[in-house]
Structure 1
Amino acid sequence: MNPEGSPATHPPSTSIRDATHDVIRFYPEVRSVHFERASEMAPGLTLYLKRRADFDEALAANRPDFLSGTLREIIRRVLVSRPRVLEVPEPLWFRYWPHTMILLIALRLASGSRRREISVVTYAIENSTPDRLPRRLATLPPALWRTISRILARGHLRHVDRIAFGTSGARQALITTAGLGALQDDHLQTRIIEALPTRCACTSPSEERTDSVVFVTSLEQRKGLDTLLEAWPAVVAARPTAMLHIAGSGPLEGATATASATYPSIVFHGLVGRETVHSLYRHARVSVLPSRPSGRWREQVGLPIVEGISHGTSIVTTAETGLARWLTQHGQHVLTELTPRALATAIIEALAVPAPRYALPLADGRILADGWLIGRAPGVFTPPKDGVAVL
């Protein structure tokens, strides 16, 4: 994918050895949306190492299907349970490549010739290509990093049976990194299932929307918050009733608090729970995520974009997101160059038009991808009907 916010370790609240499951998902880092989606996915056990900064404690209460632990505990749980399906992190999430490979090699050694009894699957949204070096490896020759990343990606793919891509950009990024031949192995099945949401159940066509813009994510430069704060005075000058609601935590909290104290049109909420997040989106006209690349990092999809779409807001973002093509096709503002002036102009234009009417699937793209990845086994998962809803 790899997925906003800073991860934080957290001790397990329930023993990772407690239960066995037909489906096990290994998510190195979990966030609130994972708990919300899990209720619609096939029943299974999610094992994780860390919690993201946007984690809502209330959602994790009394959830034995989500267990945290060390890598050793996770490997033991998988080997003891021998699930029918094991989901692992995607090949281009290099930060967790060692964890994933240790787990997969342990599984292969324990299974021997019977490895195919356990289907190994992954969901991919990473769209950063090898021409972008990780910051900690910035001194490496680009050609050397391309070689290393190809070796790592191909080594990962040898263990995988199915890949669901959340965007076409994610598939192209993996092809660019590992080579097309790596995706054409006879044992590997692939499919693109666009990472589009359904209409959020909390929204209503009669919902009153204020003249507001929401920025709900980690507060850092790579998310474009500095540019947004610089652009905002021009937005208010053109649209005096406009309000900017910012929610989240991160390195730019101080700058955000200062801006909020300086401009009455900026409201800083800090880190908030999911109920407040839904309320902010439900009453807003525009969701903004002006992300920019940082080292190897590139916006994969953008949860603020997905949640803005699901709540019926207009979207202002950059071409970094994997949904850039879809957003452009649906008349949303996708900036190819991020400047305060361009961002202000896009926000002003988005505030001036009625809320968009998106044609959305009746089932969330991530849920559909999960159904395909696990094989939709009879008696385990009843997939939602395909279709389109207008928001």
Structure 2
Amino acid sequence: MRVLRVYHGGRIEAHRERERALVAAGVDVTLVAPSDWPEATNDDTGADPFRTIELPVKRPGDVNRHAYESRDAIRALIGEVRPDVLDLHEEPFSVAARQWLRVAPKELPVVMYTAQNVDKRFPPPFAQYERAAFRRVTALYPCSRQAASVARGKGFAGELDVLPLGFDETVFFPGEQSLEDELVIALFGRLVPEKGLSDAVRVLALLNELRPTRLVVAGSGPDEAAGRALAASLGVSDSLEIEPWLALGELATTYRRAQVVLIPSRPTETWVEQFGRVIVEAQASGAVVAGYSSGSIPEVAGDPAILTAVGGWADLGDRIARLAADPAEFAARRAAGIELSRERTWSDVAERQTALYER
């Protein structure tokens, strides 16, 4: 089966795991990605077991408004590859999806990704793009049940299969975390207010009153200065480590260093946590996930996680403190998280996605 996949993140090395797994599952993949993207890595895409074609875009870095410069190039590529399925890893309301859907032959089956788990009513022309996509697309593969519900609520009546974001089990695997060691809590991702760095620092201060605790943060963003200032005011600067974005291997090592990984995401008027790739990677690495019951976090983290109401950092800290004092509970939650993660390897996701292509 030949599949032409279009994905704005295709120039980011770590984001091509899905394509590699699809090839391993027997799919002939051709990946289309923007030739210019801010987070793109400078690795050799020719080393991958699939062909990557880079096309110039307008507004690189704008996930939902970037546009391919040449409609003729899109048409020519579809004619050259002659795919059995066109797979658009773009939101239904996006400009790029609109471009590809307008050019794709009517007889070509199209499947599409969505993570949109807030029932937004978009202004023109994006609302029209979304409605047209829902009429044209053969199947959707949302990354969460919340996103699936939003799509159904907006009128999508086609095939639908919830496919989680996966992880590479050769990179993310359980460490040897023990409560006998210094307690390490970790936070991964963009350092913006809605991701909860300030609440993580408050949890650190609470735990440090009970036992030596370290907060390891991997990420960067505008909230870093405020997080450091709060740590200084609470007297825990020496227990806070903030590292910039890490290479994949270093990231995995950091997961295995932590007994607890925090997901204290706070919803905004226009955003809630859409999936939380960190959750899957953390559980696969043997850490217990602890965070707020917001967006798709409860769905993805499941019963192994410790979840509290949004903003309840004191309650969250208390729950983590009790976990750290109870080796049996820690071991049980850790084992349950590892077991849950086994359903979310890229190999498993690729098998299900291949089955979706074949329907």
What is the TM-score when the length of structure 2 is the normalising length?
Answer: 0.77
1:214 aligns with 2:195: no
- 1:245 is matched by which residue type in structure 2? V
Structure 1 residues 229 and 52: alpha-carbon distance in aligned structure 2, compared to 1, 3 A threshold: farther
1:226 aligns with 2:198: yes
Structure 1 residues 265 and 288: alpha-carbon distance in aligned structure 2, compared to 1, 3 A threshold: same
Secondary structure in 2 aligned to 1:275? helix
Match for residue 279 of structure 2 among 305, 316, 321: 305
21-30 or 217-226, larger mean C-alpha shift: 21-30
Q: Percent identity?
A: 19
Taking the aligned partners of 1:349 and 1:78, their CA distance within structure 2 comes to 57
The alpha-carbon deviation at position 52 of structure 1 amounts to 6.1
Instruction: Count the aligned residue pairs.
Output: 323
The alpha-carbon deviation at position 224 of structure 1 amounts to 1.3
Taking the aligned partners of 1:231 and 1:206, their CA distance within structure 2 comes to 23
The alpha-carbon deviation at position 278 of structure 1 amounts to 0.5
Match for residue 253 of structure 1 among 206, 224, 241: 224
Structure 1 residues 349 and 271: alpha-carbon distance in aligned structure 2, compared to 1, 3 A threshold: same
- 1:103 is matched by which residue type in structure 2? W
Taking the aligned partners of 2:245 and 2:175, their CA distance within structure 1 comes to 28
- 1:361 is matched by which residue type in structure 2? E
Taking the aligned partners of 2:4 and 2:251, their CA distance within structure 1 comes to 29
CA contact (8 A) 2:90 2:96 kept: no
Secondary structure in 2 aligned to 1:309? helix
1:85 aligns with 2:81: no
- 2:116 is matched by which residue type in structure 1? E
Could you say which residue in structure 1 is the equivalent of 2:314? 341
Deviations 1:191-239 (A, max 9, x none): 2345565755553575668521111111111211122223321121123
CA contact (8 A) 2:114 2:142 kept: yes
- 2:3 is matched by which residue type in structure 1? V
Structure 1 residues 291 and 197: alpha-carbon distance in aligned structure 2, compared to 1, 3 A threshold: same
User: Unaligned regions of 5+ residues in structure 1, if any?
Assistant: 1-20, 134-144, 377-391
Taking the aligned partners of 1:102 and 1:362, their CA distance within structure 2 comes to 31
The alpha-carbon deviation at position 299 of structure 1 amounts to 1.0
218-227 or 66-75, larger mean C-alpha shift: 66-75
1:190 aligns with 2:148: no
Structure 1 residues 362 and 275: alpha-carbon distance in aligned structure 2, compared to 1, 3 A threshold: closer
Taking the aligned partners of 1:319 and 1:148, their CA distance within structure 2 comes to 33
User: Unaligned regions of 5+ residues in structure 2, if any?
Assistant: 57-67
Taking the aligned partners of 2:192 and 2:163, their CA distance within structure 1 comes to 30
Taking the aligned partners of 2:44 and 2:87, their CA distance within structure 1 comes to 22
What is the TM-score when the length of structure 1 is the normalising length?
Answer: 0.72
CA contact (8 A) 1:197 1:309 kept: no
CA-atom RMSD, angstroms? 3.2
Deviations 1:20-45 (A, max 9, x none): x9222111234443223332123412
The alpha-carbon deviation at position 305 of structure 1 amounts to 0.9
The alpha-carbon deviation at position 150 of structure 1 amounts to 5.8
* 1:288-327 matches, cutoff 5 A: 288-325=262-299, 327=301
